[in-house]
Amino acid sequence: MIPAIVRKLESSEEELRRLMTVAEEAAAQRQREWEEQQERWRREDDQRRVEQAQSESRKQLSDIMDRWATALAVQRFFSEARGTCRSGGRRTPRQTHTTLGLGEINARHI
């Protein structure tokens, strides 16, 4: 019985080698696919981070511009107030709005 088993194993050696090779190739293919997927995910994650950083930068810039515009309006207001006090004259609300960069206003709203 044992000699029959030995003969069977010896005759199956080539088949076992072939099956091992197929299994190793399949494992290598799965590993490559896994690595490629990981790389795609890393690139997508990097792209998301870049887009998020750009969005946050635009928001920060917009906030800075808004604060700057407010600061300029306040500065213009006080410059105008100083000028009015120095000259002893008075300005109309329309002139004040124009000086502050608020644009023309309807005479009904003055």
Tens-level pLDDT at each residue, the chain (110 residues): 888 888 887 788 888 889 999 999 999 999 999 999 999 999 999 999 999 999 999 999 999 999 999 999 999 988 888 877 666 656 666 666 666 665 555 544 54
Number of domains making up the chain: 1
User: b/e string for 71-105 if b means 16 or more Cβ within 10 A?
Assistant: eeeeeeeeeeeeeeeeeeeeeeeeebbeebeeeee
What is the value of pTM for the model shown?
Answer: 0.51
* Domain that residue 92 falls in: 2-109
User: What does each C-alpha distance from 45 to 39, 48, 55, 59, 109 come to in angstroms?
Assistant: 10, 5, 15, 21, 53
